[in-house]
Amino acid sequence: MNGRRRPVRAAGVRLAALLGLVLACVVLPGSASAAPTAGEVSVSGLQADNTTDPLGIDDPRPALSWRLTSPVNGEQQSSYRILVADSVSALTAENGNVWDSGEVASGNSVAVAYGGPALVSQRTYYWAVRVRDVHGAASAWSAPAHWETGLLSAADWHGAQWISPSSSTVTAPLLRTGFTLAKPVAKARAYAFGLGFYELRLNGAKVGDRVLTPASTPYDKRDLYATYDVTGDLRQGANAAGLWLGNGYDANFSPYGFRWTGPKQALLYIDVTYTDGSHQAITTDGTWKWATGPITGDSIYHGESYDARLERTGWDGPGYDDSGWQQVRQVAAPSGALQADTMPPITVAQTLGAVKLTQPQPGVYVYDFGQNIAGWEVLRTQGPAGATVTMRTAEELLGNGTIDTTTNRNARSTDAFTLAGTGSTEVYEPRFTYHGFRYLQVTGDPQTPTLSSVQARVVHASVPSTGTFTSSDALLNRIWQNNRWTILNNSMSTPTDNPVRDERTPPGMDVQAYHDASTVEFGMDTYYINYLRDMPPGTALPSDGGNALQPDMGGDQITLAWTLYQQYGDRATLAATYPLMKKFVDDGAAAVPGHIWTTGFGDWWPPDLSGNANGGMGSPGAGNCTSEVPIVNTALSYVQAQDVAKAATALGQSADATHFAQVADAIKQAFNQRFLNADGASYGDGSQTTAILPLAFGMVPAADVAAVGARLVDTILTTNGGHLNTGIFGTRYLMDALTEIGRTDVAMTVLDQTSYPGFGYEIGKGATTDWEEWTYASSMETHDHAMFGGINASLYTRLAGIQPAAPGYATVDVNPRIPEGLQHVAASVDTVRGTVASSWTVTGTRIALDVTVPVGATATVHVPHFGQGGATSVSPAGGATQQNTTGTDTTYAVGSGNWHFTGSLVPAATSSLPGTWTRCAAETGTCAVSGTQTVAFGAQGKYAYTTATGSVACTNTVFGDPDQGVSKVCYAQTAPPATGVWQSCAVETGNCSFSGTQTVAFGAQGKYAYTTATGSVACTNTVFGDPITNVSKSCSLTAPPPAATTWTPCAAETAGCVFTGTHEVAFGAAGRYAYGTFTGGTACTNAVFGDPAPDRPKTCFVQ
């Protein structure tokens, strides 16, 4: 089942069902052979503007997309043909009487712009696609799809008038009218908009499944009307229409969000098509009437009050006596343009039952739903008229078992229901508010509550799930799940900072930190497109404080537009946002001429590590609200300038691309000049984030990457005891930075912590969503903040290794990283082209990797292995091309389909040494030497060298990292120019020639630079650098450290490895080994070797 295919909303289900009856009897050209044969491509999953069979769109050139499937690997689309017609029967006759694209030679199946004549309002357009495969063979025609246009001009509203109650202060008024339909109804559409919220009702029932509608927008810029299929809601004869209005995002809403001012008002046009083809229009006008209703108070923040005694039974049905109601008044239209609402509407996603009921105090009942959500409660009760039940929501509990409303801040989050006293069960759920909560506290219930007395509605934008992830690490799986819940809870009509306290506004900083995770986890294309449309020119949305020009709070428009292009191939949105992107970077460069930002939020909410409790990690406390502002905002400005440069290239703006690349380079140079410390190993104050961002963003000078990476690892493991010390941006890029230096294992150490601070600490405290602050502080910081959810992106891109290498996953890079302690990862992303999946399992000394690539895409797959001799294989072999083998992986180029790869996990270096090299220490150990010797550090032909006296640490910090991701070894031998070991081969400026591969030393007087070369090397400062200035130097050579040898498994952990003679034995797993030289055999235990790979089953290998 395709997760990302966005279905038509429930309001249009009837049309889809009716159309399905027609299509069931239709066979399109070529469809008689629809069952695929070998090599045949099938077309399905048609979408217009990212939606299946959309209703009421106003895009003049809808973007058309489809998916391809094939039973064989390696298939591609070579051309396509699109037919658009005014009927299914025309498509059946292969007659594109609206538009026929003709045969287009292209492999693209994503966002092909409609190219026919101008679209007409309220018209259904049917379309189908046929493609040709790589051999030119035509597919069957797809099943027909359709899109329906909305109202494309003001005249199409047929004179509908804006109406409002005659009282400007009334709460939640009811508006109604009655009308008669003289003939049988063939089709009916309703086009509706209301301020603040509205609920459309026809003949006694709510229409559609939208809630909290319309979407929040800059109301003076654009107002989004919804289209409903109401064919089944109307009937010949008497009918009635009702509109129920709520406050919504009115003037009392947060000053940082979109707000509207003025009277509650509504606009409605219903177009009825009779079976004889004639039409009737029902519109809002001065004949409508209004009255007060049972909702006596409603607020997004504070909740809703409902008095069932004030219900007007039947008010929205025909025949209701409204003689006592007042006439509406006509009011001026809002200043914003009416546009079709194309974003995924807010709906009830699921209903939860309570998992626990307690009575902490007399008459006080507390329900636990087991999950922190955004939404509201449903109450079922019975009692006398006038009895009022009060319901309050919260995320946490106090020590006495009642709710803790601290994180609600000023939001009262209280609903009150006054019973009508009907003598039977009465049911209440709010309409025009929502809360963030896990716990519901009920007081005043006239009957004794039971566990089934309440339920919770989970409410958010109806975005489809597109990502799946699982691993052998239960805590990691829980972190992934919590992050997903948090993102959804904050996906309302705009992204919110939290669903709990009195903000719930678009947080540019948060979105920038997690949008690359949310676009993998969910189908966010149309959601974020609407978000970007509401950006004021050159700035940012009114967000939760801060200067919109700052890279942290305002730069999300740049990174988000680029992410949409990468994830969905959405070039149109990139082009539409591009002027804002340019202006933002140029304005920032003008505002900060030296490129060093000194204002902003920085790495918002790092933990407080100032105390001595908890193993030196500090006690959970308030922490620092801001951290490393200059480093964070300057680094973000670099990424944003880079993204604009890349966008310019994608859009063919070559001059802009050059300009913004130069801006990015200037920022990078200024950054390193200002923040890189003299030791070349740290930035700023040396905290984690100061290294994470430049490493993740590629800002560290190449010569300093190893040192900066080593210092970061030491800071994490030693200074911070394996814990994170990061806020919003440092956390997002923590795994990315560590993976870049080959230490994904350290990232897993951080994520697996269960003590403070970290995700595991929160989960241990019962968290089901992400906290705004790492501590369990009794303050306003909510426990449902999505800003830390961005790390989910790294689970897909680093652990599973799935990344788009071209927009819309036209090409895919699958490069999984295998950290210690993790035996299995499986992930999938339902992309615009189909499902991309990566699943790997480590068993003993083997890794199995399964990869799925959708038709129309290609992939580069990196099959991991460790050390030398890491053989790999692929199945099926046909269609996979081996490209390159390094010390860490072998890469294959593959086409679409399912692929199975294997790799061997063998130890790294060896010590059956030619020449005079002696193995002196494993990586992280100390190589002790007699006197002064040359020490080589590396493996498999890649070495770094130094001249050491007494001892030297075998670490990347000392040598740099000559072969990332591989376990390395130190070798020592007599330093040059000792005869019998080193052979003189050339004087300075000469050429040192030899057979095979040799180690060459260049220098004099005990100061040498080294390289490993094959055939010859020039003895110059240009090649080696100058190890001793103003002295004549020469080259000497000797046999290099050992090449690969064969390792044979000889025993599992705790068993005995037995052999004849003296051999070196490696003990470990997954690239982490300890070594020893033994005669006759050895026990394979931690007692003998130490534990090189904790929590992993290990194996002994004999050389």
State pLDDT tens for residues 519-532: 999 999 999 999 99
Is 716 inside a domain boundary? yes
913 pLDDT tier (thresholds 50, 70, 90): very low
Residue numbers of the domain that contains 438:
347-461
Tokens 């403070």 found at: 756
Catalytic residue among 395, 503, 521, 773: 503
Which pair of tokens denotes residue 360?
């902490």
Query: Among 306, 340, 374, where does a domain finish?
Result: 340
pLDDT digits over 732-791, tens only?
999 999 999 989 999 999 999 999 999 999 999 999 999 999 987 667 789 999 999 999
pLDDT digits over 686-739, tens only?
999 999 999 999 999 999 999 999 999 999 999 999 999 999 999 999 999 999
**355 and 212 fall within a common domain:** no
Query: Among 461, 477, 510, where does a domain finish?
Result: 461
Is 5 inside a domain boundary? no
C-beta separation of 123 from 149 below 8 A: yes
Averaged over 342-367, what is the pLDDT? 98
pLDDT digits over 930-975, tens only?
888 888 888 766 788 888 888 888 888 888 877 766 667 788 888 7
C-beta separation of 43 from 144 below 8 A: no
* Residue 862: CATH number of its domain: 2.60.420.10
**Average model confidence (pLDDT) across the chain:** 88
399 burial (CB, 10 Å; 0-12 / 13-18 / 19+) is: exposed
Is 3 inside a domain boundary? no
**1008 and 952 fall within a common domain:** yes
pLDDT of residue 510: 95
pLDDT of residue 638: 99
Query: Among 760, 777, 799, where does a domain finish?
Result: 799
**265 and 392 fall within a common domain:** no
**923 and 1026 fall within a common domain:** yes
The yes-or-no verdict on residue 353 having pLDDT over 50 is: yes
**478 and 390 fall within a common domain:** no
C-beta separation of 1061 from 1016 below 8 A: no
**617 and 486 fall within a common domain:** yes
Is 912 inside a domain boundary? no
Is 1028 inside a domain boundary? yes
What's the pTM value of the predicted model, to 2 decimals?
Answer: 0.83
Is 4 inside a domain boundary? no
- Cα separation, 466 vs 831, in Å, equals 7
**388 and 527 fall within a common domain:** no
* Residue 435: CATH number of its domain: 2.60.120.260
**124 and 49 fall within a common domain:** yes
How many folded domains does the chain comprise? 7
Give the SS3 label for residue 1072: strand
Is 221 inside a domain boundary? yes
Tokens 């025949």 found at: 319
Which pair of tokens denotes residue 982?
């080193």
pLDDT of residue 1042: 57
**145 and 158 fall within a common domain:** no
**896 and 951 fall within a common domain:** no
Give the SS3 label for residue 902: strand
Confirm whether 772 is a catalytic residue.
Answer: yes
- Cα separation, 93 vs 988, in Å, equals 82
C-beta separation of 466 from 827 below 8 A: no
C-beta separation of 924 from 955 below 8 A: yes
pLDDT of residue 295: 99
pLDDT of residue 1093: 72
* Residue 97: CATH number of its domain: 2.60.40.10
The yes-or-no verdict on residue 879 having pLDDT over 50 is: yes
pLDDT of residue 870: 56
**397 and 254 fall within a common domain:** no
**556 and 670 fall within a common domain:** yes
Catalytic residue among 377, 521, 762, 772: 772
Is 2 inside a domain boundary? no
pLDDT of residue 12: 38
> DSSP E strands: which ranges in 794-917?
802-804, 811-814, 824-831, 834-843, 846-853, 858-864, 872-875, 881-885, 889-894, 897-904
pLDDT of residue 365: 99
